[in-house]
Structure 1
Amino acid sequence: MTQTPAIDKSAIRQAATVIVLRDRFSAAPRVLMGQRGAQAAFMPNKFVFPGGAVDAADADVPLAAPINADCAAHLLRKSDEDRIHALGVAAIRELWEETGLILGRTGAWSGAPPSDWQSFAATGHLPDASALQFVFRAITPPGRPRRFDARFFLIDADALQGDIDDFSAASDELSHLQWIALSDVRKFDLPFITEVVLAEIAGRAKDPSPPASVPMFLNTEEQSLFLRLAGASPLETALKP
């Protein structure tokens, strides 16, 4: 069996990305994407899914419901630390900050919410991670200005609260927020890894069940590997971008 090479984790930040799928059973399913700014240090001008780095405070933010057990089990594979809760919180926080969309459950916070969550709490919701499906993991290649160990989560737009076409509460981190048909999305300026993830999502669009295995794109100084996080012996094959 191929051995997974060691990577220097000191320069890599944990991150969560959210893929929101709309009209999945229609003839033209759509995903939510926005464009990063021209001056962004990471992937400038690219169209991406909402997401970002895990903050230290995310581990302490209460969830109305956690990530489901099947996805949690995959999140623990090839991981030296349990970050399940923090990743779920980060996914919901980044979705809210970058799009103004609410993945939550109606309810009141038991105490004062952290500063990053005050606007979310003001909507009358608690963050709810139960709809998140872990569908992809990717580590940014060496040599980039920033590196992330990103977990990609898929949710159905039906899990969101409120008007899913209302982006008025979004920050200015992503511009041109829009629902893009899967059949048209490759016409946009996409990062390579986003194209890979979209191929996975297109194959899963009609299947709402949690994935039996999760792809992982691992980049090290020596090589790039495409893994499948399933069981104790994942398939490992070389992947050339």
Structure 2
Amino acid sequence: MTTTRDFEPPQQLRERAREWLSTPADERTAAPARLASTVLLLRESSGSTEVFMQRRVSSMKFAPSMWVFPGGGVDARDETSGVPWAGPAPREWARLMGVPEPIAQALVIAAVREVFEECGVLLAGPSADEVAPDVSGDDWQADRAALVDRSVAFAELLQRRGLLLRSDLLALQDHWITPELEPRRYDTWFFSALLPASQVADDRTSEAEEAVWRRPADALAEVRDGRTRMFPPTVVQLDRVAAWRDLTPVTASREGLAAVLPEPVDLGDRVVLRSHLND
């Protein structure tokens, strides 16, 4: 079941959308969408649910100054079978996501890797029932930097540390694809995870000017007031989390997800991005 929701694009995208709509369909060229994973990292604080968010640096080519969740594109390091693994196997993720097993595996690996790179939280442990303790020490920061500069692969790091990727700590929440009119596009899968009790999310990333825990309702209020900027999928995830009564859905994957591909629609006085959302 889906619902339809229209989003107001920013001025620059609004002009691009009108140009796209004025171009004959058979003459439009869409850039390929790169596979990506992003993670809603959540915790309970003072009786309220909070999500970890980052405001991207203003010089970024993609999404400058936008508030986002930790995440990023799948790369060659994630397309490997050598990652020590615990929890649902890649074939189970493939069934859930409706994609080939190698793609599902790469997306899960990218999700765990990106969370560690961008906020220092490691969803891995020495066994299928344990999570790595505090990983904020200098030796861990060196490993984190090595991942970022690609001098070490995630599989190598886990093997050397004697750790297993804990895929059971992730749950699937949504699937969005950047509109075809955008020059830089992503095929993004949204996961959720609880912050491990012994770990701390930090702001040690060069990609963000600010990184904080936020109540979803507060973040959404700032979007409505025009004080902050977020992409439609970020807003939709926050809307969903704000409606949760507790944190139970964090660890429950949503099945039967269809890819949400926003499309420009000319309403005469304005152009909107129309999205058919997964209920």
TM range (shorter): 0.7 to 0.9
**Largest Rg, 1 or 2:** 2
Conservation of the 8 A alpha-carbon contact between 1:71 and 1:210: no
* Cα distance between partner residues in 2 of 1:80 and 1:116: 22
Partner of 2:96: 74
Structure 1 position 173 matched with structure 2 position 207: yes
Structure 1 letter corresponding to 2:35:
Q
Partner of 1:211: 254
TM-superposed deviation, 1:39: 1.1
Structure 1 position 20 matched with structure 2 position 20: no
> Aligned residues: percent identity?
27
* Cα distance between partner residues in 2 of 1:49 and 1:162: 21
CA deviation map 1:32-81 (0-9, x unaligned): 011111111111001100000001221214142244687543311xx467
The structure whose residues are more often helix, as a share, is 2
Q: Which of 163, 170, 176 does residue 199 from structure 2 map onto?
A: 163
* Cα distance between partner residues in 2 of 1:200 and 1:71: 22
Q: Which structure 2 segments of 5+ residues have no match?
A: 1-27, 128-146, 223-227, 266-272
* Cα distance between partner residues in 2 of 1:213 and 1:185: 28
Conservation of the 8 A alpha-carbon contact between 2:79 and 2:102: no
Q: Which of 185, 188, 196 does residue 147 from structure 1 map onto?
A: 185
Structure 2 letter corresponding to 1:178:
V
Partner of 1:87: 107
* Cα distance between partner residues in 2 of 1:201 and 1:63: 31
Structure 2 letter corresponding to 1:189:
R
Secondary structure of 2:167's partner? coil
When residues 121 and 63 of structure 1 are mapped into structure 2, their CA distance, relative to the original with a 3 A threshold, is closer
Q: Which of 193, 198, 204 does residue 233 from structure 2 map onto?
A: 193
Q: What RMSD, in angstroms, separates the aligned Cα atoms of the two structures?
A: 3.3
Secondary structure of 2:60's partner? coil
TM-superposed deviation, 1:130: 1.4
When residues 63 and 151 of structure 1 are mapped into structure 2, their CA distance, relative to the original with a 3 A threshold, is farther
TM-superposed deviation, 1:27: 3.6
Structure 1 position 115 matched with structure 2 position 152: yes
Conservation of the 8 A alpha-carbon contact between 1:47 and 1:189: yes
Conservation of the 8 A alpha-carbon contact between 1:104 and 1:127: yes
Name which of structure 1's ranges 127-136 and 59-68 shifts more when overlaid on structure 2. Answer: 59-68
TM-superposed deviation, 1:225: 4.5
* Cα distance between partner residues in 2 of 1:55 and 1:116: 11
Q: Which structure 1 segments of 5+ residues have no match?
A: 1-6, 108-112, 229-234, 236-241
Structure 1 position 49 matched with structure 2 position 69: yes
Partner of 2:58: 38
Conservation of the 8 A alpha-carbon contact between 2:83 and 2:158: no
Conservation of the 8 A alpha-carbon contact between 1:19 and 1:152: yes
Conservation of the 8 A alpha-carbon contact between 2:93 and 2:101: no
Conservation of the 8 A alpha-carbon contact between 1:96 and 1:120: no
CA deviation map 1:118-164 (0-9, x unaligned): 6666766332221111101100012323100000001112xx36432
Structure 1 position 133 matched with structure 2 position 133: no
When residues 35 and 121 of structure 1 are mapped into structure 2, their CA distance, relative to the original with a 3 A threshold, is farther
Give the TM-score of the pair, scaled to structure 2.
0.64
Conservation of the 8 A alpha-carbon contact between 2:97 and 2:256: no
Conservation of the 8 A alpha-carbon contact between 1:20 and 1:154: yes
When residues 133 and 93 of structure 1 are mapped into structure 2, their CA distance, relative to the original with a 3 A threshold, is same
When residues 213 and 11 of structure 1 are mapped into structure 2, their CA distance, relative to the original with a 3 A threshold, is closer
Give the TM-score of the pair, scaled to structure 1.
0.73
TM-superposed deviation, 1:226: 1.6
